């Protein structure tokens, strides 16, 4: 399985969208500061994920969630979670 996931920084309330084939390991890497894009934004909390059977589908979904329409979708879907772009 491949996962498209959304993390929320508890430091600045901003979101990070990514994809992986090992969700638990990847979240651990983010929170250990091993991911350049998020190392200064720890701690991070998983707030959303989707599972795909095909890597290309997870990558495509990641790209769509990074757009303005994708952020709006997350805001509607997650409702009461305070989301900043």
Instruction: Return the pLDDT at 84.
Output: 56
- The per-residue pLDDT for 81 is 66
Quick one: pLDDT at residue 6?
Answer: 97
**What domains are there in the chain, each with its CATH number?**
2-78 (3.40.1440)
State the DSSP string of 30-83: HHTT-STTTTTS-SEEEEEEEEESSHHHHHHHHHHHTSHHHHHHHHHHHTTS--
Look at residue 79 in the predicted model and tell me its pLDDT: 80
**What is the mean pLDDT, run by run of 10 residues, along the chain of 85 residues?**
97 95 98 96 96 98 96 87 59
């Amino acid at each position: 399985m491949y996962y498209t996931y959304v993390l929320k920084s508890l430091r600045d309330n901003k979101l990070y969208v990514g994809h992986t084939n090992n969700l638990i390991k990847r979240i651990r890497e983010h929170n250990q500061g091993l991911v350049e894009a998020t190392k200064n934004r720890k701690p991070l909390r998983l707030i959303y994920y989707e599972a795909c059977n095909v890597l290309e589908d997870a990558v495509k979904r990641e790209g769509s969630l990074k757009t303005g329409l994708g952020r709006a979708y997350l805001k509607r879907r997650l409702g009461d979670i305070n989301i900043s772009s």
